[in-house]
Structure 1
């Protein structure tokens, strides 16, 4: 092999979970479905005997009390309850690419912190009619949700998190390996409901 051939750099352009160069956006019946690629994700689980210290660290990092069952708290940096003493922490990837490292440094061994960026995909749905869309997707009662609610559920046989930011803003986190199937299920429900 010639020296010049071995120095050729491969094409390393990033692709979205749906395989595109830019995030996909679909609109139907007043609802917009957006593939969101600017989210850093990190799991945070308190270690045995360190629950109080880990919870305090998480609250300090997020800027609000750690959420309880069925809730999420925070703003730009948010925490989502996943189970007893377990949360998913989210932040903009553009400013928090190293979210896991930052959180682990703050936790100082009181929690197990694992980067989740490449494990999940995120779809944001906005607009009127989300209740009708989600009635077709999963057993989540959006009628009763006003913002700050979060739950794990199944959408098209995929384990997902549904996060409510308000009456007209919902996020779905699902397995990145099934992003195409999840996107198809969301878009099909939009077309059927609206």
Structure 2
């Protein structure tokens, strides 16, 4: 897939385990690390209920003589994300391919890069008084120009009613992130079906 300045996606690379400066604040995408940190802190989550387990994940765990079912729910999600997968609303694994030299841990697009493609960001305050930002006016084509990954296609029957933001920072080191993907297939008008991009 080439689109202007976009590069071909490459298989995901694992995150570095040696980063003492890790902060889960929306400036990075090391969701695997945050899930494991929350697991170590005693947080729990139900086991994932996938329709199928990706071969990459099976092979990775097989080398350790484990299966995905052997792991606690948060660790399952950490392994899936670190292996390059998220979960569709229908509980199917969705492969994510990183671009250039990015890893699953650094897919988060910085605010200054968002500004370079003329997306406007809304500043929000968090309980800890640290500023967080969310896209206010930003089209799919603007985001595509700075994206660091692509995801496989998947079915999201609720996408027409989903009004999530295209981009955001912020977070809390005590939060447990989700690896659920949603489709941003926004429509200007449901009756005439014009895609907004």
Query: Shorter-chain TM-score: what band?
Result: under 0.3
Q: Which has the higher strand share?
A: 1
TM-score of the pair, normalised by structure 1: 0.28
Higher RCO by CA contacts (8 Å cutoff, separation 6 or greater): 2
TM-score of the pair, normalised by structure 2: 0.28
Which has the larger Rg? 1
